[in-house]
Amino acid sequence: MKIYFAPLQGYTEGIYRKAHHLVYGGIERYYTPFLRMEKGEPRRQDMGRLLSDTNGGVPVSPQVIFNDREELESLVGTAYSYGYRSIDLNMGCPFPPQMKLGRGSALLERPDVLREILPVFGEFDGMEYTLKMRLGVNDTTAWRGVIDILNRMPLRHITVHPRSAKQQYKGELDMAQFEELLKASAHPVIYNGELRTADDIHAITERIPGIAGVMIGRGLLARPSLAAEYAEGEEWDYRKRREHLMRMHEMVYRHNVEKLCGETQTLSHLTPFWDYLEDEIGRKAWKRIRKATTLQKYREAIALI
């Protein structure tokens, strides 16, 4: 079962993806946090993600979020000019600031825009597309109004999170609607949602054998070894997990110390690494890391692990 690493803003940045790929592996493809338009052009800091040398040797695709054909063409064209030949379309973002602009999950209620972008798929030779979506905005049935249009798109696969945008990341997963979408889709479907252990992956593939893979975000942040453990068919002991975790952190640490200016900025990029890892490293070290105000205090907290 192929495993894809979901993008999470502020967490799965370039050095994190690079370090995870080199230390653990087991991931079919990583995705960048979404690129978007700002003041009529691709946002400058997002362009830095495309140009980063941390992408070298890593199977990574930019994800783009858009509200019309013009925005999509601009974002895809920029990625194409930088040599990327795989793009993920964001139709799953549930956050109001983006949805108010007609982006992300809001596109589930904008079939006119989805029809409008169909010609874009033929504009960039050799570009491949995937799409990530939710089941709806206020309920979990809105997908029915756009599935015929999605089936006309030349997509390698669709990743589906079986909640509505209104639910964000809480509440029940609507597995019945997910299975209906799976039957209706002309494309392979990737499952995304609440996968935290290898047993969870086995359970979803046994329940829905027709899926083409799984996408995991927070589950991999909380246990970076998850995909590797699943691939090997056995759970790693704590010592092995800790050794790999510290190797990965060392790469992230060195990169940020070398590239960033000042302790405050450096710490702001280092401490998120641990946000989901309390269960792995213990509460004492986790709290000390979060409270660290200097790199010296940060290193002392790391030494507790």
pTM of the model: 0.95
* Full DSSP string of the chain: -EEEE---TTTS-HHHHHHHHHHT---SEEEPSPB-EETTEE-HHHHHHHH-GGGTTS-EE-EE--SSHHHHHHHHHHHHHTT--EEEEEE----HHHHTTT-GGGGGG-HHHHHHTGGGGGSSTT-EEEEEEEEESSSS-GGGGTHHHHHHS-EEEEEEEEEETTTTT-S---HHHHHHHHHH-SS-EEEES---SHHHHHHHHHH-TT--EEEESHHHHH-TTHHHHHHHTSPPPHHHHHHHHHHHHHHHHHHHHHHS-SHHHHHHHHGGGGTT-HHHH-HHHHHHHHH--SHHHHHHHHTT-
How do the pLDDT tens digits run along the chain, 305 residues long? 999 999 999 999 999 999 999 999 999 999 999 999 999 999 988 888 888 999 999 999 999 999 999 999 999 999 999 999 999 999 999 999 999 999 999 999 999 999 999 999 999 999 999 999 999 999 999 999 999 999 999 999 999 999 999 999 999 999 999 999 999 999 999 999 999 999 999 999 999 999 999 999 999 999 999 999 999 999 999 999 999 999 999 999 999 999 998 999 999 999 999 999 999 999 999 999 999 999 999 999 999 99
Q: What residue spans define the domains of the chain?
A: 2-232, 238-302
pLDDT in tens, 2-54: 999 999 999 999 999 999 999 999 999 999 999 999 999 999 888 888 889 99
Per-residue pLDDT, 41: 92
| Residue range 240-260, pLDDT digits in tens | 999 999 999 999 999 999 999
The confidence score (pLDDT) of residue 30 equals: 98
CATH topology of domain 2-232: TIM Barrel (3.20.20)
pLDDT score of 266? 96
